[in-house]
Amino acid sequence: MAPAAPSASAVPSAPADDPNASPDAILVRRTLAEIAPVSDQVTSYFYSLLFVRHPDLRGLFPVAMDAQRDRLLKALLTAAEHMDSPAVLTGYLRQLGRGHRKYGTQATHYPAVGEALLGALSRYASSSWDDETEGAWVRTYTTISQIMIDAAAENELHAPAWWQAEVVSHDLRTSDIAVVTVRPDQPYPFVAGQYTSLETPWWPRVWRHYSFASAPRPDGLLSFHVKAVPAGWVSNALVHHARPGDVLRLGPPAGSMTVDHSTDNGLLCLGGGTGIAPIKALVEDVAEHGHRRPVQVFYGARHDEDLYDIETMLQLQSVHPWLAVRPVVAEGPSQGLTGQLPEAVREYGPWHEYDAYLSGPPGMIRSSLDALKGAGIPLERIRHDSLEELVGAIG
């Protein structure tokens, strides 16, 4: 199985006393250790410097930045921490560079960001900051920004910075979950199991991640399952305001929770809540590939009535003999199993000839990872979107 494209949270923290660390990495990590206890102040100061010195860049960020204000800085710091592992980081940075095209980011903006980064670090890591450390950060940031700039330039040759997509149907399945289907203005290539970033006209420059709820379709339409979460600007707009005719913007596809077609292993899929969306896409993907493998889906919800897509999943089961779908309900009377997803999965199996695909709330992913490792599925055969991406999806 190909390694998952790393995200900031998928990359483990670099060990502080790594004997193989390069001289630059040692200095960079020393700065990071010093700013860790004051990361909020560093973040505020970084953006203040950026916007005061370059007011023209303010327009690239959302008006209210609370929800996502430290994503850029966090991504840069994570990348810097791991610059000694370029093989792991290049994929992450290339995706970051491509993804920044939708914000209107230009190659010429990177020096301004670098300047603000060094300004914030030198102020808050003042006891360890010296010329050598500054040199290490300049080299590190130059490498990071060049990978992002190159990836964006390459991507520009064959893909738009974003897609306009018109809502063609809006199906309110429960009081707070809608299935929204859109028609992009140009072909949108993606692979089942991936996700996109989505912006609504009501909250300009506020982007949220949603998985494609179907494998690529001949008519080119894309569907998303959206749950309105408390104080979630984008999700509430999509569930309660969006109507056919509204036009959204989509960023490029991302994510590596895709079916590995080079193996015959079965697929064990755990979908919790709206996390069932990419699982449905994976099932359709297996159906479209001639060689059928056993696919076992455990579909979790808090209550029976929250299983908003169970009809679709059972319909797929009725036409595909290789597919088993089991609803698992945490509380109350149930048409299926009762309890949490990891417990339900433990009661079935054996699973050592299966690859696992996990999609749902971060707590579910964490507990399922433990259960599946315990059931004999090695970590490299368990795929899930990074927990950071999931957190970025909320709202």
Ligand X SMILES: NC(=O)C1=CN([C@@H]2O[C@H](COP(=O)(O)OP(=O)(O)OC[C@H]3O[C@@H](n4cnc5c(N)ncnc54)[C@H](O)[C@@H]3O)[C@@H](O)[C@H]2O)C=CC1
Which residue, judged by CB position, is nearest to ligand X in the bound state?
Answer: 273
Within 10 angstroms of residue 27's Cβ, the number of other Cβ atoms is 22
Q: Report if residue 210 touches ligand X, rule: CB under 6 A.
A: yes
| Under rule CB under 6 A, residue 227 binds ligand X | yes
By CB under 6 A, tell whether 361 contacts ligand X: yes
Start-to-end Cα distance in the chain: 32
Taking the complex as a whole, the smallest distance from the CB of residue 342 to ligand X amounts, in Å, to 6
Q: Helix H segments across the chain?
A: 23-35, 39-53, 71-81, 86-99, 110-124, 131-156, 233-236, 276-288, 310-319, 341-346, 362-374, 387-393
Backbone angles phi, psi at 47, to 5 degrees: -70, -35
- Least spacing, CB of residue 282 vs ligand X, in Å: 12
Residue 347: CB atoms within 10 A of its CB come to 9
Task: Note whether 43 binds ligand X by CB under 6 A.
Answer: no
Q: Which is nearer to ligand X, 42 or 301 (CB)?
A: 301
The minimum distance between CB 305 and ligand X, in angstroms, equals 11
Is there binding between residue 303 and ligand X (CB under 6 A)? Answer: no
- In the bound state with ligand X, the residue whose beta carbon lies nearer, of 259 and 390, is 390
Q: The tokens of 356 are what?
A: 């696992």
- The CA distance from 80 to 55, in Å, is 26
CA dist 119 → 29, 69, 96, 130 (Å): 17, 18, 22, 13
Name which position in 124, 340, 345, 383 contacts ligand X (CB under 6 A). 340
d(CA 113, CA 145): 9
Q: Is the dihedral of CA 129, 132, 138, 144 positive or negative?
A: negative
CA nearest neighbour of 27 among 146, 118, 147:
118
Q: Is 99 or 300 the residue whose CB approaches ligand X more closely?
A: 300
**Nearest alpha carbon to residue 133 among 57, 51, 24, 222:** 24
We find the least distance from the C-beta atom of residue 62 to ligand X, in angstroms, to be: 19
Q: Which of 202, 367, 369, 387 binds ligand X (CB under 6 A)?
A: 367
Tell me which of 6, 99, 184, 275 binds ligand X, using CB under 6 A: 275
User: Binding to ligand X by residue 301, rule CB under 6 A?
Assistant: yes
236 binds ligand X (CB under 6 A): no
Of the pair 252, 272, the CB lying nearest ligand X is at: 272
Q: Which is nearer to ligand X, 89 or 279 (CB)?
A: 279
Q: Which of 232, 252, 360, 395 binds ligand X (CB under 6 A)?
A: 360
Closest CA to 338 of 326, 325, 348, 349: 326
Among residues 372 and 393, whose Cβ is nearest to ligand X?
A: 393
Distance, in Å, from the CA atom of 76 to the CA atom of 116, rounded to the nearest integer, reads: 12
Question: What residues between 170 and 189 interact with ligand X by CB under 6 A?
Answer: none
Given the rule CB under 6 A, which of 7-15, 73-81, 167-175, 297-305 is the region that contacts ligand X?
297-305
Regarding 114 and contact with ligand X (CB under 6 A), the answer is no
> Which CA distances in Å does 87 have to 3, 22, 29, 92, 316?
11, 15, 19, 10, 39
Residues lying near ligand X in the complex (CB under 6 A): 210-211, 225, 227, 272-275, 277-278, 300-302, 306, 330, 340-341, 359-361, 363-364, 367, 390, 393-394
